[in-house]
Amino acid sequence: MVTRNAEYYTLGHLARFVKPGAVRVASTSFGTTGWNGQIMDAAFLNPDGSTALVVHNENDAPRTFSVAQGGQSFDYTLPGGALATFRWPRSAALDDGLRLLEQRGMTATSPAAPTDTAKAIDDDATTRWTTGGGQQPGQYLSLDLGRAQAVRRVVLGGGSDVNDFPVGYQLSTSTDGVQWSGPLASGTGQGQLTVIDLLATQARYIRVTLTSTAGQWWTVADLRVYR
């Protein structure tokens, strides 16, 4: 008797979509390894310039996640235990020149749930920081990058809490944590990812502040900054 496990199907996907000469490229993977974990992924750049992304839902229940590159994104729901591969061709539109900043050395602060702020930048979307109640104007989450550097994009991921996005927000920056700029970007979140683009600016501190009232909580399971 032969039992086909997840590794069997993973090898099948890799053999079909990842071509000889491909190299693995960085991708954010927030799952927990082991039984009944979450979403795990691996991304590869093929010799023809196409990208292959292999995703495995290690949980028994369906999980919704977002795939984002170059300012474009889509959401997808995988059934429990399912495996899927996504492939897209080379595209200049997908290479926006942005580079992810290393999270090591960053710290986050907020008056709301102050002991949980580290969970927003721990590279694990199964943990989260949240306001712990409905959204109110003035609630904020601040990030210290460790040193001043160029910032061009901030991405707030809600993890599995796909409806806990900021209903209204504005983003400000500071070089010393005392004097803050006026709003450099503002908008409304939607879905699992809130992508905030701004003109390149030198900053050590970033603050995202809520501007609207909503019954839903604001949750940040992963915060990413790009230069």
Does one domain contain both 219 and 112? yes
- Taking the model in full, what pTM does it have? 0.77
Query: Rounded to an integer, what distance in angstroms lies between the CA atom of residue 225 and that of residue 204?
Result: 11
Give the CATH number, domain containing residue 158. Answer: 2.60.120.260
Give residue 37's pLDDT.
78
Does one domain contain both 74 and 144? no
pLDDT tens-digit map of 203-223: 999 999 999 999 999 999 989
Which whole number is the average pLDDT over 136-159? Answer: 94
Q: Which domain holds residue 55?
A: 6-94
Q: Which amino acid is at 36?
A: N
First to last CA, the chain: 53
Q: Which of 106, 71, 98, 104 is nearest to 226 (CA)?
A: 98
CA atoms within a 13 Å half-sphere pointing along the CA-CB vector of 116: 15
Q: How many domains does the chain have?
A: 2
Q: Please compute Rg for the chain using Cα positions.
A: 19
Q: By the 8 A CB rule, do 107 and 78 touch? A: no
Provide the 3-class DSSP secondary structure of residue 134: coil
pLDDT-derived band at 67, boundaries 50, 70, 90: confident
Question: Is 101 among the domain residues?
Answer: no
Give residue 14's pLDDT.
87
Give the CATH number, domain containing residue 34. Answer: 2.60.40
Most confident residue range from 36-50, 151-165, 180-194? 180-194
pLDDT-derived band at 25, boundaries 50, 70, 90: confident
Give residue 32's pLDDT.
65
Which whole number is the average pLDDT over 189-201? Answer: 90
Q: Which amino acid is at 56?
A: H
Question: Is 63 among the domain residues?
Answer: yes
